[in-house]
Structure 1
Amino acid sequence: MSTYTGHPGEDLFIHPAPGLPDGLRVRDEDLQEHFSRSTGPGGQGVDTTSAKVELRFDVPESRSLNADQRRQVEEYLSPRLHHGVLVIQAHEHRSQWENRVAARERLVHLLCEALEPAPPDRWPGAPSHESDDARIASKKEHARTKALRAPVQPDEE
C-alpha cells in the first residue's frame, strides 16, 4: 500500500505515520518541477524527450509544514539542502510521468524519515544472570592470581 496519495500536479497527502499522527498535506504550490533531457534508458527518444525530473521543495518557505516540522526537517536534511531547498532528481524511467511519480515517492520517504520521532533514550536494565556469573568468576580468578603472588611461608616443624 502506498504511503501517500496525489498525482503530479495535485496536492500530495502523506498518510498518518510515526511523527505524523494526522498525516501531512504538501501543497502543490510548494513543489516546483523542472524537466530536462536525461541520460539512461530510452534509446533514440532520450535525445528528443525531457524525461528527467528535478523536484524542488523549499523547506523554509513551505506553507505545508508548521514551524516545528520545518525546523525538524531542516535539521535532519541539512546535508541535502542547498540554501534551504531540497532537490530531488529522477531519471531512471523512460517516461516523464513515471519520473515525476518517482521523485514524489522520494520526497515522501525523506519527509517521513525526517519527521519520525527520535527513539527514546535507553534505560539500562539489571544485569543478566549470565553476566553476573561471568563477573563473579572473573573476580574469583583475579583473587586466585593475587593469592599466588603472596610470599611463601616456611613450613613449621
Structure 2
Amino acid sequence: MAEPIHITRSISIDPAEIEESFIRASGPGGQNVNKVSSAVQLRFDLRNSPNVPEPMKRRVAALAGSRITKDGIILITSNAHRDQPLNRTEALARLVALLRAGAHVPKPRLATRPTLASKKRRLEGKSVRSAVKRMRGRPSGEE
C-alpha cells in the first residue's frame, strides 16, 4: 500500500484518491511526440474526499478556478517535460501546492480608519493636482 500524501501535519490524502491518465503531449519533440503518451492528466475528487475538511474544500475550490469541474474534480495537466515520470511528479507537486494553499486559513481583515495625517496628505495632493490642471487652461485676458 502506498504512503499517504501529507498536506499539513493533520491532513493527508490517500494516493488511491488520485487518478492518473496519460495522454500525448503537444508541441516539439519530433517523432517521439506522436508515439509516446508522456503528458499526465491528474484527477482528484475534492468534493467526495473524506480526508479534506469542508472549510478547506471551499478555499481550495476557490483557488482552483478553472481547474475544477462542476462535479468538484480537480484536473491538473502536466506536459512540460518529455519524460512521463517527471510530468507525474510535477502534476502531483502542483496538486499538493494547491491543497496546501487552501489549508492556510486567511487572517480576517480588520477595518481601520485613515489617520488625520493621511487625510491631509490626500487633500494636499488633490489641491496640487488641481493647480496643475488649472495652469493648463487658456491664459486669462488680464495681461
TM-score w.r.t. length of structure 1: 0.64
If each structure's helix is expressed as a fraction of its own residues, which one has the higher value?
A: 2
1:11 partnered with 2:4: yes
Q: Distance in 2 between matches of 1:98 and 1:136?
A: 57
Q: Distance in 1 between matches of 2:123 and 2:62?
A: 46
Q: Per the alignment, do residues 133 and 38 of structure 1 end up closer, same or farther by CA in structure 2, a change over 3 Å counting?
A: closer
1:46 partnered with 2:33: yes
Shift of 1:135: 7.9
- Calculate the aligned-residue CA RMSD, in Å: 2.8
Match among 109, 122, 132 for residue 97 of structure 2: 109
Q: Percent identity?
A: 30
Unmatched runs of 5 consecutive residues or more in structure 1: 1-8, 17-21, 139-157
Specify the SS of the correspondent of 2:115: coil
Q: Per the alignment, do residues 121 and 41 of structure 1 end up closer, same or farther by CA in structure 2, a change over 3 Å counting?
A: same
Q: Deviations over 1:48-86 (max 9, x none)?
A: 211010000111111221233234333443543212111
Moved more, 35-44 or 72-81: 72-81
Shift of 1:37: 1.2
Specify the SS of the correspondent of 1:43: coil
Report if aligned partners of 2:63, 2:98 keep a CA contact under 8 Å in 1: no
Residue 92 of structure 1 is matched in structure 2 by: 80
Q: Distance in 1 between matches of 2:88 and 2:24?
A: 14
Unmatched runs of 5 consecutive residues or more in structure 2: 126-143
